[in-house]
Structure 1
Amino acid sequence: MTTACLFIHGFGGSPYETEPLYTVLEECTDWELRAPILPGHDENESLENREYMEWVSKAEKELEDLLFNYNHVYVIGYSMGGVIAAYLATKYNVEKLVLLSTSAHYIDVSQLAEDIWKMAKDAADGDLFENDLFQRYARRMGTTPMSASIEFQKLVDDLRPYFSKVDVPTLVLQGGQDGLLPPKSAEYIYDSIQCEDKTLHFLPQSKHMLCHGPEQKDLIQACRNFLEI
């Protein structure tokens, strides 16, 4: 094998967030795939007293290992993982970059309010476990330390300038109904990236959990086209 791909999950999340895309790449390629769990994010760990550079360093070590052993390395980052992925792409010889629901800006309050109302309605109707926002945050709901949230904000603030230093082919995907990130986040990232080989792809019916959303097939096809598989 000469090709590898690193997946980086989001804040408070896990590799589950990109699992459908990971599975397709696993089935359609002979690539080495890595989807590490960032420090404090395992089921038996806590985010208490974590510093954001721990998350960056974990992803960086995985990337260094892949670059040492494989000729072609791609990076796929989701949400906070997209910020880390973009930063690493400015330091290392990453050939292609995929950014999913990436956090260049903070919460879209109006959309989040609508999503919370929908979550409450689903709970009343007995459909709470079908709600994607609940699925995304059920494990961490009410347990994420304020210190960890502050570290997440520091990460976004400190690494945001690196989007303007990205000079590798990049695919940016964003949900049109994302309750956590406004569309301007994806537009900012797209405009900032220096490489001319870049694509901004909106999924109008999707929320933050792009890989598990109603336009999953569209997302996967866009990624396959971009990665040429």
Structure 2
Amino acid sequence: MKQPCLLFHGFTGGPYEVEPLARHLRERGQLCKVPELPWHGESYHQLKSSRWEDWVKAAEEHAETMTRDYGQFDMVGFSMGGLLAAYLSVRYPVRRLILLNTAVIYVSPGRMLEEMRNEWKYQRKISLNKAKSTPLSAAWQFTRLVRKLKPELSQVSIPTLIAQSERDHVIHPQSARYIYRKVRGQREIHWHPRSNHLICHSDDAAVLFRQVSAFLDKEYTDDGKNKYEP
């Protein structure tokens, strides 16, 4: 029987960011929970009044529910959700940790400008509109959460998959290398050359999903080392 899985979306995003991966996991028989979290981008006023501690508390409540209902579970975190997933993996019975474009070095200015130029060219002013609709106070809370939770990565000792888009305009690719150096358990890193920030919706998504399935199906010894060569 496959372990249930909890998936977290990113800052100002929503469940849609990781839903394609959740569908893939469900098709292989895995129960998936994809909650809408307090840092989603649908409510300006909710974002404006919330603090990073509220986000951590909400993440812990979902982990507590998974622990109570299922015991051990797998964890996927996208962007800012990746940092929270790593934080939870140290405190709850998480079996496998999957980090997608996780926010450690969270802005690549050159890539962001390139993406905004492309969106203006195609009259899809997504990044600019999103920036205008995100309260400055929420952006500040986001940076505080990154600073507070970044040290947690060195406490992660369970098997971890790190995936990073090479064309990410939000998270700098160096984030993946940083995470790979910091986590202490068995880990693997995968680069996706055709993907932008929304990796689960990218041209590399099918490859990513196969990598995730293979990672979840690997057998590990109790000390976290893989029994088999990758």
TM-score, with length taken from structure 2: 0.88
**Equivalent position amino acid for 2:158 in 1:** V
**1:36–1:59 Cα contact (<8 Å) kept:** no
Unpaired runs of 5+ residues, structure 1, are none
Residue of structure 2 equivalent to 1:81: 81
**2:8–2:77 Cα contact (<8 Å) kept:** yes
**2:71–2:93 Cα contact (<8 Å) kept:** no
Residue of structure 2 equivalent to 1:43: 42
Q: How many residue pairs get matched?
A: 217
Deviations 1:195-223 (A, max 9, x none): 1x200100011111000011111111111
Distance in 2 of aligned mates of 1:145 and 1:221: 37
Residue of structure 1 equivalent to 2:61: 61
Residue of structure 2 equivalent to 1:173: 163
**Equivalent position amino acid for 2:94 in 1:** V
Distance in 2 of aligned mates of 1:11 and 1:113: 19
Q: CA deviation at 1:85?
A: 0.3
Q: CA deviation at 1:46?
A: 2.6
**Equivalent position amino acid for 2:157 in 1:** D
| Secondary structure in structure 2 of the residue aligned to 1:95 | strand
Q: CA deviation at 1:14?
A: 0.4
TM-score, with length taken from structure 1: 0.89
Q: CA deviation at 1:65?
A: 1.3
Residue of structure 1 equivalent to 2:142: 152
Distance in 2 of aligned mates of 1:69 and 1:9: 21
Deviation beyond 6 Å, 4+ runs, structure 1: none
**1:83–1:156 Cα contact (<8 Å) kept:** yes
Distance in 2 of aligned mates of 1:98 and 1:139: 30
Residue of structure 1 equivalent to 2:33: 34
Distance in 1 of aligned mates of 2:109 and 2:128: 20
1:202 and 2:201 are equivalent in the alignment:
no
**1:101–1:208 Cα contact (<8 Å) kept:** yes
With over 3 angstroms needed to count, the CA separation of the structure-2 counterparts of 1:41 and 1:182, relative to structure 1, is closer
With over 3 angstroms needed to count, the CA separation of the structure-2 counterparts of 1:110 and 1:122, relative to structure 1, is same
Unpaired runs of 5+ residues, structure 2, are 219-230
Comparing 185-194 with 49-58, which one deviates more in the overlay?
49-58
Distance in 2 of aligned mates of 1:3 and 1:70: 8
Q: CA deviation at 1:106?
A: 2.3
Deviations 1:66-110 (A, max 9, x none): 112214300000000000000111112211000001001120111
